[in-house]
Amino acid sequence: MAEETIFSKIIRREIPADILYQDNLVTAFRDIRPKMPSHMLIVTNQIIPTVNDITADHEAVLGRLFTVAVKIAQQEGIDKNGYRLIVNCNRHGCQEIYHLHMHLLGGQQLGPIVP
């Protein structure tokens, strides 16, 4: 079994978060340290530590990450001008919490993906 994460506690509503969406597959909430005017996280409810741990059994949840991203971008009013979706993997990919999640960033012009 994968290790418990802070995201697990948010999913179970054991610690406070500004939850924007939740269903049986994913939970979305505002990042507590936003890097852009709109910065949300969309996390899998099941703990999948990294992208490397994804299997064919996870295809439905991966699709849900993207459909929820679209829904939230529309709610935030950033869908027309654009936004960025980021998934980090492992240490060199700058993954900080080992629970699969997608960053949704927008609300202003974004710079290059890598410097």
- Tens digit of each residue's pLDDT (9 = 90 or more) over 14-32: 999 999 999 999 999 999 9
Q: Is residue 88 part of a domain?
A: yes
Give the domain CATH number at 30.
3.30.428.10
* 12, 23, 46, 58 from 105: Cα distances, Å: 24, 21, 23, 24
With tokens 């969406």, the residue in question is: 21
Q: Is residue 112 part of a domain?
A: no
Domain that holds residue 15: 6-106
Would you say 45 and 89 are in contact if contact means Cβ atoms under 8 Å apart? no
1, pLDDT greater than 70: no
Q: Is residue 1 part of a domain?
A: no
Q: Which residues are catalytic, by number?
A: 101
With tokens 């994460």, the residue in question is: 5
- Hey, how many other C-beta atoms are within 10 angstroms of the C-beta on 29? 20
Exposed, middle or buried, 115 (CB in 10 Å: 0-12/13-18/19+)? exposed
Q: Which pLDDT belongs to residue 113?
A: 81
Alpha helices in the chain (DSSP H): 6-11, 59-76
Q: Is residue 95 part of a domain?
A: yes
Q: Is residue 31 part of a domain?
A: yes
The pLDDT of 56-78, averaged and rounded, is: 98
Contacts of 14 (CB under 8 A, 6+ apart): none
Q: Is residue 29 part of a domain?
A: yes
- Structurally, the chain folds into a number of domains equal to 1
Full-prediction pTM beyond 0.85?
yes
Q: Is residue 89 part of a domain?
A: yes
